[in-house]
Chain A
Amino acid sequence: MIARRRAVLGFGTLLALAAGCSKSDPSVPPVYEERPSMTAAVAGKADLADKPRIRQRVRDVLARLYGPNPREIHVPAEAPLSRDETGLLGGLLGNGVRTAEGFRKLPRAGGYAVYRRDCLNCHGVSGGGDGPTAAFTYPPPRDFRPGVYKFTSTPAGAPPSRDDLRRVVQDGLPSTAMPGFKALMSEEEIEQVVDYTIFLSLRGQTELALIEEGALADSDDPDVLNDRVVRDVVANLFDRWRTAERETVEPPTPRTPPTPEGVRRGRDLYMGKTKDYLECAGCHGPRGKGDGADYVDRKLFNEIVLRDDPETRARRIAEFDERTRALWDRGLDAWGAPSRPADLTVAVYKGGGRPVDLYRRIAKGINGTSMPAHYPKLDPGKIWDLVNFVLALPFQPELLDESELANEPRPVRR
């Protein structure tokens, strides 16, 4: 009897061990998160809070166009994604393809698998910048869904080029939580994940456009968001991505040599002493430390954004005086996160430190932030002077010392 009981016990243990070692995934399958404006009123945004029929239509259209969940990806025809070696559009996104004959395995893990491994923890399942670790980062992870990216080579406000996304994935964004993946991913994996990022942007932009379109419509309209409307929205969106890819900004003239005179010309532009009346120092500060008068005091900013308990942030902001409050609101970027001008004295450039990167930052601004585009207003020679000045400033801080506009007392040097 005892022997039999032992046998049962042993068998049970073996069974438990086998179950623990199996590779089946006990977690719930991932689902795309919807925008809050699908189901609730959001201040300042179009919403479908009281239009359940249109809401359902948006869900159906999204599931048809892009797939119902991340495990089943649909790729609309003509999408600005790359083709795999067999010519399959969006073939880099998944690890297999379902055809009439059945499931065909593809020779790669696919963009979703790479994204889930290395990106999802910050950028979230639907690319909303809302992954589990997002709360611990400043600046916050990019929300891919509006399709706006800060550091691009395309005209101001346009979607990024494939190269831009590839560069950020490869090299990361210095001084942020975004690491460079060049050493951690193979080149194929980087291509796959770039494709998946574009896919998430397309899906998010379509969702946004459909919500806006649906919010305008009458909730009883039987013909709302019909196939023709959807086709137009999607075609328009894809066209914008394709156009941007062709229109990257190249400096029309070669870089001017960074002679002392050239650097000083750039300094004068920076300080607004020329007829161009640039206001760089208003944000980046009279000494280039990113502490200009047009932004919230840097100390206060750091205290609230970096040191404070995030839960008390709203309360502290409510306690601001009117002027600080206005400056704070001004500093919010297009994604609603607090942003601050770059400290130009530390030689760390988020968008890349190559001369061409700095040229583009100045010529076409930083999307979604207060950094404006300067190109048609400022001729390329002057932009190069500014680039040379910015590159020299960290190593020659005295460039801004002798300026009469820098009227704050000089710090004591030890």
Chain B
Amino acid sequence: MRHWSLLFILAVVFGIGAFAYAPFSPDWWLPNPATEPVGVVADAARRIDGLFLAVLGLSGFGFVVAWAATIRPRRGGLGREAAWAVVPGGILLFLACHQMNAWAVAERRAIAPPESPLAEATARRFQWSFAYPGPDGLIGTADDLAVDGELHLVRGESALVHLKSADVFHAFFLPQLRVKRDAAPGATVPLRLEIDRAGRYELACAELCGWGHYRMRGVVVVHETRAGFETWLAARVAERDRDRADDGPTESFLTVPEFGAAVRDKRSSLLAGEDRPRGGQMRGTTRETTVGLRGSPSGKP
């Protein structure tokens, strides 16, 4: 037992070993699809990973340097004081500049240029609901397609999704795409998703929203081609218009009514599971937040 202190080497071995192994595991490092533990499946996610690694590398290097400096501590001296102030400051400045592009891609591009959203995601306790606009291009009208738990996208196509909450705070969390955005009640959060691998990605809620938070999950399905997406959409629309349960002919009688916006507000309050006071606050807030999306067909005057 004399050399028991050698056990501490295990900590070092484990630390280094974990760093060496992690990039090859889909779970140990930042989560990736099991089929692609090393690659990252979206451009924006690669930028986030790049930032993460830059911060990790810099702080790791800084930690080693600072630790080395404590081995033979020396006091005083203007030069050393200045170095200790300027070098960390420079690192912070570098990080501040370095992250700007990633931020711009993740946040600013979502609202410029203005365009109509591919879908609207509504978080409610404890389910993700998605609405796709019908032929009129507006969400909240009679020809909408409502799908629960599944968001469908096309590979390589940049899609705008409007994120809303019907009741409390939720967060739209796609770990494999490094996306995590809060869904605030009353606000419309524009979200831009572009994924360069077809497949199914896990969607979770990342804001404690109640007793069922742990099972508030969904899936993002990325189709290989636009045609695949259209086929899925057509099948769901046919299902929505079904007037016979067996496989008889189904006719679609779509109308384009004019009262969409009012209904949308009512629906989101009903989905909350209770009658909340209508009009006033809720509706005003919704209209206000869509001002940022000028020109979008859903931002109705």
Indicate whether B259 reaches chain A with its CB closer than 8 angstroms: yes
Indicate whether A258 reaches chain B with its CB closer than 8 angstroms: yes
B96-109 near A? 1/0 per residue, CB < 8 Å? 00000000000000
Q: Is the CB of B279 within 8 A of A172?
A: no
Q: Is the CB of A346 within 8 A of B266?
A: yes
Residues of chain A with a CB closer than 8 A to B217's CB: 183-184
Indicate whether A323 reaches chain B with its CB closer than 8 angstroms: no
Residues of chain A with a CB closer than 8 A to B253's CB: 255, 257-258
Known: A174-B271, A179-B126, A353-B146. A346 touches B243 (CB 8 A): no
Residues of chain A with a CB closer than 8 A to B218's CB: 183-184
Q: Is the CB of B273 within 8 A of A354?
A: no
Within 8 A of A (CB), among B245-275: 245-246, 248-249, 251, 253, 255, 257-260, 262-263, 266-267, 270-271, 273-275
Quote the shortest CB–CB distance from B92 to chain A (angstroms).
Answer: 41
Within 8 A of A (CB), among B219-246: 219, 239-246
Q: Is the CB of A176 within 8 A of B270?
A: no
Knowing that A184-B218, A255-B243, A394-B263 touch, tell me 15 more A-B residue pairs with CB under 8 angstroms: A3-B1, A6-B4, A153-B245, A175-B270, A176-B273, A177-B273, A179-B126, A179-B149, A183-B149, A348-B270, A356-B242, A392-B142, A395-B257, A395-B258, A396-B257
Expressed in whole angstroms, the Cα–Cα distance for A171 and B219 within the complex equals: 14
Expressed in whole angstroms, the Cα–Cα distance for A414 and B278 within the complex equals: 12
Q: Is the CB of B148 within 8 A of A172?
A: yes
Partner of B240, one of A6, A299, A354, A392: A354
Q: Is the CB of A138 within 8 A of B142?
A: no
Known: A163-B245, A347-B267, A395-B259. A177 touches B126 (CB 8 A): yes
Indicate whether A133 reaches chain B with its CB closer than 8 angstroms: yes
Expressed in whole angstroms, the Cα–Cα distance for A366 and B79 within the complex equals: 83
Expressed in whole angstroms, the Cα–Cα distance for A118 and B149 within the complex equals: 15
- For the A-B complex, the count of residue pairs with Cβ-Cβ distances under 8 Å equals 125
Main secondary structure of the interface of A (DSSP, over half): loop
Could you show 28 A-B contacts with beta carbons less than 8 Å apart? A6-B1, A133-B211, A133-B212, A136-B211, A171-B148, A179-B127, A182-B148, A183-B148, A183-B217, A184-B149, A184-B215, A184-B218, A250-B246, A251-B243, A254-B251, A255-B243, A299-B275, A306-B274, A343-B270, A347-B142, A347-B263, A348-B270, A356-B245, A391-B142, A395-B258, A395-B259, A396-B257, A397-B262
Expressed in whole angstroms, the Cα–Cα distance for A163 and B246 within the complex equals: 11
Quote the shortest CB–CB distance from A263 to chain B (angstroms).
Answer: 10
Expressed in whole angstroms, the Cα–Cα distance for A290 and B60 within the complex equals: 63
Q: Which residue of A lies closest to B1 (CB)?
A: A3
Residues of chain B with a CB closer than 8 A to A180's CB: 127, 148-149
Most chain B CB inside 10 Å of its own CB: which residue of A118, A138, A255, A307: A255
5 closest A-B pairs by CB:
A183-B149, A395-B257, A180-B148, A255-B243, A183-B219
Most chain B CB inside 10 Å of its own CB: which residue of A138, A172, A183, A397: A183
Indicate whether B141 reaches chain A with its CB closer than 8 angstroms: yes
Quote the shortest CB–CB distance from B271 to chain A (angstroms).
Answer: 6
Q: Is the CB of A348 within 8 A of B244?
A: no
Q: Is the CB of A258 within 8 A of B242?
A: no
Residues of chain A with a CB closer than 8 A to B242's CB: 354-356
Indicate whether A7 reaches chain B with its CB closer than 8 angstroms: yes
A301-329 near B? 1/0 per residue, CB < 8 Å? 01000110000000000000000000000
Expressed in whole angstroms, the Cα–Cα distance for A237 and B189 within the complex equals: 52
Indicate whether A298 reaches chain B with its CB closer than 8 angstroms: yes
Residues of chain A with a CB closer than 8 A to B246's CB: 250
Indicate whether A219 reaches chain B with its CB closer than 8 angstroms: no
Most chain B CB inside 10 Å of its own CB: which residue of A118, A153, A397: A397
B139-160 near A? 1/0 per residue, CB < 8 Å? 0011000101110000000000
Partner of A355, one of B141, B210, B243, B271: B243
Interface residue tally on A, bucketed by range: 35 or more
Interface residue tally on B, bucketed by range: 35 or more
Quote the shortest CB–CB distance from A115 to chain B (angstroms).
Answer: 14
Most chain A CB inside 10 Å of its own CB: which residue of B4, B211, B219, B240: B211
Indicate whether A151 reaches chain B with its CB closer than 8 angstroms: no
B interface vs A, CB < 8 Å?
1, 4, 125-127, 129, 141-142, 146, 148-150, 210-212, 215-219, 239-246, 248-249, 251, 253, 255, 257-260, 262-263, 266-267, 270-271, 273-275, 279
Indicate whether A95 reaches chain B with its CB closer than 8 angstroms: no
Expressed in whole angstroms, the Cα–Cα distance for A133 and B142 within the complex equals: 34
Q: Which residue of B lies closest to A118 (CB)?
A: B215
Residues of chain B with a CB closer than 8 A to A184's CB: 149, 215, 217-219
Partner of B241, one of A153, A172, A176, A355: A355
Expressed in whole angstroms, the Cα–Cα distance for A356 and B248 within the complex equals: 12
Indicate whether A241 reaches chain B with its CB closer than 8 angstroms: no
Expressed in whole angstroms, the Cα–Cα distance for A6 and B126 within the complex equals: 50
Expressed in whole angstroms, the Cα–Cα distance for A183 and B255 within the complex equals: 30
Expressed in whole angstroms, the Cα–Cα distance for A306 and B142 within the complex equals: 29
Residues of chain A with a CB closer than 8 A to B262's CB: 397
A243-268 near B? 1/0 per residue, CB < 8 Å? 00000101100110110000000000
Known: A7-B1, A347-B267, A395-B260. A175 touches B243 (CB 8 A): no
Q: Is the CB of A250 within 8 A of B244?
A: yes
Indicate whether A389 reaches chain B with its CB closer than 8 angstroms: no
Expressed in whole angstroms, the Cα–Cα distance for A354 and B255 within the complex equals: 15
Residues of chain B with a CB closer than 8 A to A136's CB: 210-211
Q: Is the CB of A414 within 8 A of B279?
A: yes
Q: Is the CB of A302 within 8 A of B275?
A: yes
Residues of chain B with a CB closer than 8 A to A270's CB: none
Residues of chain B with a CB closer than 8 A to A394's CB: 142, 259, 263, 266
Q: Is the CB of B244 within 8 A of A182?
A: no
Residues of chain B with a CB closer than 8 A to A347's CB: 142, 263, 267
Expressed in whole angstroms, the Cα–Cα distance for A298 and B276 within the complex equals: 12
Quote the shortest CB–CB distance from B283 to chain A (angstroms).
Answer: 8
Q: Is the CB of B274 within 8 A of A254?
A: no
Expressed in whole angstroms, the Cα–Cα distance for A277 and B258 within the complex equals: 31
Indicate whether A295 reaches chain B with its CB closer than 8 angstroms: no
Residues of chain B with a CB closer than 8 A to A112's CB: none
Quote the shortest CB–CB distance from A337 to chain B (angstroms).
Answer: 15
Residues of chain B with a CB closer than 8 A to A37's CB: none
Known: A7-B1, A183-B149, A255-B251. A177 touches B244 (CB 8 A): no
